[in-house]
Amino acid sequence: MSGPRRSRLFDSLVRLRWILPFVALTPFFVLVAAGDMSDGSAESAETGWVPILLAVWFFILVVLAVTVLMLNLSGHDPDAEDAAAELVADPLGRMLLARWLQRSRHHRFVGGLVGFILGVGLIRNGNSVPALIGLMAGIALGGALAEIHLVRGDQTSTRLAELRVRRVAEYVPLVDRLALAAVAVGAAAVVVLAQIIGQSGPTSTWVAAALVVVATVLGMQRLVVQRRRPALNPALAQADDLLRSLAASQGFARPGIALSMILLAQAVVNLGTASATSNGVEQSTVAPVVQLALWLAGAFWYWMSRRERSRSLAVSFATQRQSTSA
Amino acid sequence: MSPSLTPPMMQVPDQFEQQRQIDQLIPAPGAPAKRLAVGLILVVGAVAITVLNLGGYLYPQPMADSTFSSTSTWEVDSAGELVAIQVMVPNSSSRSVRVTAAELDAPGLELVEARLRLEPPVDWNTSGTDESTVATPILPTAEESVQLPADLPSGATGYLVLWVRPTKCDGPSPEIKAPWGVASATFDFGGGAFPPFSPTQTIDNPIWGDSESELFGLVDGEFVFGDHPIDFACEILR
């Protein structure tokens, strides 16, 4: 296969990362299908072509999944430059943002995959919540780790530092700050409710986990916004400002918000179950409804952290900048 | 010569200079092969931890992913002072565990001693009965049960033998609701074994699981029945 054609194939495959969870479930479906056949028509299963087709299909899926996995683990990211071009016009700024987009996506993918696998190990009695929590925690942690780096100083020339004070509020969208505050308030409400009902234990653990996530996100936002920066030409400084804003929102904060909401959802449902058990009554529908709402909110915040949302974030950041300077 | 007041001319940075400026802000990406190797190491490590954890090698979890229930025959000891109730504890993990202690949450009954009785190992892969109702055999004699701490091999089914006595037998029957009488046990991997975790896990198999179900006991070779655990314990001790 020629170089460009192979490259296009790789580009297409790397975008298929969503296929991985489905492929992971394929053996289950194959086994179910094989079981059905052996129950219904054992003869056709033994002698027919269906098992061969299934085996071939399974083999193709495995090869596909391994290729997709390898490409994503190696950080192959064909869309980073186009995405960066949509965000800034300056060529140098584009290079900077493309590098960040690629780095952030790679860290988030590896983190999410590792978190999901570790979460699968905690699944009990078919309850897949640990896998989803592991996935989201991995994405958030990966996104945060992408921001922890030490750039080597330039030894050959005099370095000039920019001394402008950067405030977190200038970089983090208001809606993100409100969401973090809402989680903290919700966590406090659950703690108070647990004390009133006389139930703590696992509920407190879930609440504490949610609060740790909120505190970590706030700390990381500060670290990213106030990270030192050398004196740069204005266009590159502008691109770096946008990078910090994207990093402190969609990079790790929004997955962190999603994770804290999911943890809070678990605290709520735990509180509902514990309360019903201790009072010897049927569980009310309030806790499951709140749990569902928090899960949906978590899914929404994860969706808001995807690269496709970068453009609107960049627009709102630019608008905010203009209004501040005006 | 006086210094020039004209600012220096802006120069378009060359590719090296561009790279240098960007490198000051964010590290240059490593080679794809290096990133792939690091990613693979992390993923393989995660898979290994998951497999070990699911097999019960990292953390004692004998009852993970197994649903079970058992009904116990209540029996009286030779002195006529204690009642023995048995609670099923299967070890469906791939590693042998040790039961170090047991507790019983059954207000009205006092736990005097807990012992462990072993059944022959069960092949969980071929038995195909994750969900099973097992009628506990007749009370084991003292020789058949062992003192805690006691080993529970992988794949074996054990029974916690809980020797209890009612705290009060006179007066009105206390009002209780099923499920009632939940036991919990503490497990580890054995003395000095690694990792040294010793979690206490609830045995999801209450001694009175359903208010509709009848309790039955064996007294002097005769079966007796009851529908209130504390009253029943008092009755069979009389």
Residue A225 gets the label, from left (phi > 0), alpha (psi -120 to 50) or beta, of: alpha
**ipTM, 2 dp:** 0.84
Contact status, residue A204 vs residue A194, Cβ threshold 8 Å: yes
pTM for the structure as a whole: 0.81
Write out residues 101-160 of B within 8 Å (CB-CB) of A: none
What is the DSSP track for A73-86? HTT--TTHHHHHHH
Contact status, residue A225 vs residue A172, Cβ threshold 8 Å: yes
Beta strand B109-118 pairing with B83-90? unpaired
Task: Give the residue among B233, B210, B196, B212 at the shortest CA–CA distance from B74.
Answer: B233
The C-alpha angle with vertex B82 and arms to B81 and B88, in degrees rounded to 5, equals 170
Q: What beta strand segments (E) does chain B contain?
A: 68-71, 73-76, 83-90, 97-105, 109-118, 132-135, 145-147, 150-152, 157-166, 182-188, 200-202, 215-219, 222-226
Nearest by CB to residue B53, choosing from A91, A102, A121, is A121
Secondary structure of residue B223 in the 3-state scheme: strand
Contact A124 B21 (CB under 8 A): no
Residues of A with CB under 8 A from a CB of B: 69-70, 72-76, 91-92, 95-96, 99-100, 102-103, 106, 110, 113-114, 117-118, 120-122, 124-125, 149-154, 229-230, 232-233, 236, 240, 243, 280
Contact B26 A118 (CB under 8 A): no
Task: Give the residue among A152, A151, A112, A150 at the shortest CA–CA distance from A134.
Answer: A112
Q: What whole-number distance in Å separates Cα of residue B171 and Cα of residue B160? A: 30
- Bridge partners of B224, per DSSP, are B217
Task: Give the residue among B188, B193, B203, B158 at the shortest CA–CA distance from B98.
Answer: B188
Beta strand B132-135 pairing with B109-118? unpaired
Beta strand B132-135 pairing with B68-71? parallel
**Interface membership of B173 toward A (CB under 8 Å):** no
Per residue of chain B (238 residues), what is the pLDDT tens digit? Answer: 444 444 444 455 667 777 888 888 898 888 999 999 999 999 999 999 999 999 999 999 888 766 666 667 787 877 778 888 888 888 989 999 999 999 999 888 899 999 998 875 444 444 444 444 444 445 555 557 888 899 999 988 888 889 998 888 887 777 888 788 888 999 999 888 889 889 898 888 888 877 777 788 877 777 888 888 888 888 888 7
